[in-house]
Amino acid sequence: MDKKEIIRQIKEKRERLESRYAKGMLTHDELLRNKTILYHDIMIMTRAEHSEEVLDLCGLSKEDIISSSANHELDHDPLTDGSVYVFKGLTGLENLIRDNDPEGKVFTFQLPLTCSGKRIWKDFQFLVRQKKAGQDSWQGWNVYEGFGRFSIYSGEGTLSVREDENLIQSVLYQKCYTQM
Q: pLDDT tens digit string along 136-146? A: 989 999 999 99
Q: Are strands 142-150 and 83-88 parallel, antiparallel or unpaired?
A: unpaired
Grouping H, G, I as helix, E, B as strand and the rest as coil, residue 180 is: coil
Q: How many CB atoms sit inside 10 A of residue 39's CB?
A: 23
Q: Report the C-alpha gap between 35 and 55 in whole angstroms.
A: 9
* pTM (2 d.p.): 0.60
Q: Report the C-alpha gap between 21 and 75 in whole angstroms.
A: 29
Q: pLDDT tens digit string along 58-69? A: 887 765 654 444
Q: Report the C-alpha gap between 138 and 58 in whole angstroms.
A: 36
Q: pLDDT tens digit string along 107-154? A: 999 999 888 778 889 899 999 999 999 999 899 999 999 999 988 888
Q: Buried (b) or exposed (e) across 40-52, using 16+ Cβ within 10 A? A: bbbeeeeeeeeee
Q: Running DSSP on this structure, what letter comes out for residue 26?
A: S
